[in-house]
Amino acid sequence: MADTSGSVRIELPEHDRPPRPGETDLERTDPDLELTATLVLRRPTAEGDQAAAAQEADLFAVLNFARLNGLRVTESEPNTRSVTLAGRASDFERILHVELIDVELNGKRYRRYDGAPSLPAGLGEIVTGVFGLRARPTRPRPRVHHAGSTEPFWTTVDLARAYDFPEGTDGTGQVIGLIELGGGYDEQDLRAFFSEHGLPVPSITFKSIDGATNQPASPEAIQQWLDVVEGRREESDCDATLIEAAQMTVEVTMDIELAGALAPGAQLVVYMAPATEEGIYKALSLAIHDEQPRVDVISMSWGEPESFVSDAHVSAITQVLEDAAQRGITVCASSGDFGAYDDPQNKTLCVNFPASSPLVLACGGSTVVRCESKIDNEIAWNCGLHGIPASTGGGVSELFGLPPWQSAEHVPLSPKGQPGRGVPDVAASADPHNGCAIIVGGQPCSSFGTSAVAPLWAALIARCNQALGSRAGHLNPVLYELARSERSPFRTIVEGDNGFYRAGAGWNACTGLGTPKGRHLLDVLRARTSNSR
């Protein structure tokens, strides 16, 4: 088919991603391979009916372009301003003026492209992102090695009591969305876990993105993973695929069990997507724009170093996070488990995205040193063993400037010497020595990492929403205002470090404003709501 994409072209900016260390080119992608790509369209600058008309015109232009170039439209989502197209690899190469290359990293094969993608004038102004052709997987979660880490420190009941979750609330009427990127959960594990806590299994809705399914790892894979975590077995002696599948299954199961037990009245929606830029964008977009059910709070345990994500991906995710703020949805994201050096291979100071977005409540981690009837001493989480670092992610963004609500917090300059958004905003227990009892693959083990903090904060916000009768929405400006008041709802962490930054009074780049005093948080939010009426 002739190229109908026009002679005058506009290069799509900000699509570059640096190769990962060890990435090897194999060969050109099979020209006849069937692929899909998601095109993200610009946000209309007009408002009301004019915005709707402009958005409809943009959508029509993209659909017409696809038809003229022999591509099939598999999805068209006006709410999220995105279109998914299907066709052969050679069709996408011709239309975007790139060459697709198969590459390999750590035994995984995926694609990248040579050249900057471009589109004909007019269309290039409409399309702000193209995702799916470059199918590099997201970075897997770190495997935290700690002897005895499967001996939990407390139950979810203990955890809720330690952080003083408000009594008389359980999240009833709230919907918590969980963004998951592979793995799955076993209903037998959930029945056993919630039965132990004297709770019914929560209402769980599973939503698949691009064919992703609920694929929990086998009990044998989970056992291998536990043997590695506890130091009984060398990771090099295990099947890497099984270990990764187990890790992802633990991740998904942990999110469900923690969110479900800490907000037992809430409905949970699991958005399962491929672990790619396209999958992440689609999962987050669906969660934010979903109407059946309508999500109130989102928990994301995924993140990558800012240096690893393309500016186009950041721009696309920022668009949907802006939609979340407009719809009153709070988005909680883990700040990462690699400390201040979120790019440990290159030993680079950097922070995790999307936690670095000012539109996200970035969740860091703590270690509880002493806890009797209440938490008496808490420090920044930093306890890597066996040569593997593991600590609360935090630092200063190179992508986002200093937001107004952090201007009084003495956020240090970024590694490049510029003012930037400080990460994290809040924290809670992340040390596996202080982990919460969960059940995965029929085995009792411990929650761990900032991945456990995001669902905790999501559950706490859901319970506050329930009591207030309204959504908290983009909560960051409010939390920073409250933290500066005499009735701060945070326990400030003043000890410990994350490999570069130290904890200290006020906000810090290890644990943010601190860990929650749940009942106090609800009280000050309620007072603030009453005063604003």
Predicted pLDDT of residue 209: 94
Predicted pLDDT of residue 147: 43
User: Which residues have C-beta within 8 Å of that of residue 147, sequence separation ≥ 6?
Assistant: 230, 231, 385
Phi, psi of 88 (to 5 degrees): -80, 155
Q: Which of 12-26, 179-193, 238-252 has the lowest mean pLDDT?
A: 12-26
Phi, psi of 317 (to 5 degrees): -65, -35
Question: CB count, 10 Å around CB of 487?
Answer: 12
The answer on pLDDT for 13 being more than 80 is: no
Q: Report the candidate in 479, 483, 361, 498 with the shortest Cα–Cα distance to residue 424.
A: 361
Alpha carbons 10 and 408: distance in angstroms, whole number: 42
- Work out whether strand 395-396 and strand 422-423 pair parallel, antiparallel, or are unpaired: antiparallel
Q: Report the candidate in 280, 255, 263 with the shortest Cα–Cα distance to residue 190.
A: 255
DSSP string spanning 368-380?
EEEESSSEEEEEE
Predicted pLDDT of residue 337: 92
Do 74 and 207 sit in the same domain of this protein? no
Active site residue 296: no
Alpha carbons 184 and 453: distance in angstroms, whole number: 19
Place of tokens 């009594």: 167
Q: Give domain status of residue 505, yes or no.
A: yes
Predicted pLDDT of residue 240: 80
Peptide bond into 137 cis (omega under 30): no
Predicted pLDDT of residue 143: 47
Do 197 and 102 sit in the same domain of this protein? no
Do 119 and 208 sit in the same domain of this protein? no
Do 313 and 173 sit in the same domain of this protein? yes
Predicted pLDDT of residue 141: 52
Q: Give domain status of residue 396, yes or no.
A: yes
- Sheet with 108-114: strands ordered across: 24-28, 99-105, 108-114
Active site residue 251: yes
> What is the number of structural domains in the chain?
2
b/e burial code for range 321-342 (CB count within 10 A of at least 16 → b): bebbbeeebbbbbbbbbbbbbb
200-254 per-position pLDDT tens digit: 999 999 999 999 999 999 989 888 888 887 777 877 778 888 888 888 999 999 9
Predicted pLDDT of residue 510: 98
> If residue 507 lies in a helix (H) or strand (E), which one and from where to where?
none
Q: Give domain status of residue 58, yes or no.
A: yes
Do 272 and 392 sit in the same domain of this protein? yes
Q: Report the candidate in 413, 435, 419, 409 with the shortest Cα–Cα distance to residue 511.
A: 409
Do 127 and 172 sit in the same domain of this protein? no
Predicted pLDDT of residue 151: 53
Alpha carbons 222 and 155: distance in angstroms, whole number: 21
The answer on pLDDT for 1 being more than 60 is: no
Do 325 and 451 sit in the same domain of this protein? yes
How far are the Cα atoms of 123, 128, 226, 326 from residue 5, in angstroms, in the given order? 9, 17, 53, 35
Q: Give domain status of residue 264, yes or no.
A: yes
Do 306 and 247 sit in the same domain of this protein? yes
Phi, psi of 511 (to 5 degrees): -130, 15
* CB 333, CB 424: distance < 8 Å: no
The last residue of a domain, from among 131, 160, 177: 131
Task: Exactly one of 255, 296, 304, 343 is catalytic; name it.
Answer: 255
The answer on pLDDT for 450 being more than 90 is: yes
Which residues form the domain of 116? 9-131
Task: Exactly one of 251, 296, 378, 409 is catalytic; name it.
Answer: 251
Q: Give domain status of residue 98, yes or no.
A: yes
User: Which residues have C-beta within 8 Å of that of residue 295, sequence separation ≥ 6?
Assistant: 175, 176, 177, 269, 287, 288, 329
> If residue 456 lies in a helix (H) or strand (E), which one and from where to where?
helix 453-468
Q: Give domain status of residue 311, yes or no.
A: yes
> If residue 167 lies in a helix (H) or strand (E), which one and from where to where?
none
Active site residue 255: yes
Mean pLDDT calculated for residue range 88-102: 91
More confident residue, 267 or 82: 267
Per-residue pLDDT band at 139 (split at 50, 70, 90)? low
Do 115 and 206 sit in the same domain of this protein? no
410: left (phi > 0), else alpha (psi -120 to 50), else beta?
left
CATH number at residue 204: 3.40.50.200
Question: CB count, 10 Å around CB of 122?
Answer: 12
3-state secondary structure of 60: helix
Predicted pLDDT of residue 138: 66
Do 359 and 244 sit in the same domain of this protein? yes
295-337 per-position pLDDT tens digit: 999 999 988 899 888 888 999 999 999 999 999 999 999 999 9
Predicted pLDDT of residue 505: 93
Task: Exactly one of 82, 335, 366, 451 is catalytic; name it.
Answer: 451
Do 448 and 319 sit in the same domain of this protein? yes
Mean pLDDT calculated for residue range 168-173: 97
Do 374 and 462 sit in the same domain of this protein? yes
More confident residue, 313 or 114: 313
| For helices 453-468 and 240-262, angle between their N-to-C axes, nearest 10 degrees | 20
Predicted pLDDT of residue 369: 84
Angle value at C-alpha 446, between 443 and 447, nearest 5 degrees? 125
The last residue of a domain, from among 131, 147, 176: 131
Predicted pLDDT of residue 163: 95
The last residue of a domain, from among 108, 131, 154: 131
DSSP string spanning 184-202?
---HHHHHHHHHHTT-PPP
Query: Mean pLDDT, the chain, as a whole number?
Result: 88
Per-residue pLDDT band at 148 (split at 50, 70, 90)? very low
Q: Give domain status of residue 499, yes or no.
A: yes
User: Which residues have C-beta within 8 Å of that of residue 489, sequence separation ≥ 6?
Assistant: 482, 483, 516, 517, 518, 520, 521, 523, 524
* CB 95, CB 115: distance < 8 Å: no
Q: Give domain status of residue 193, yes or no.
A: yes
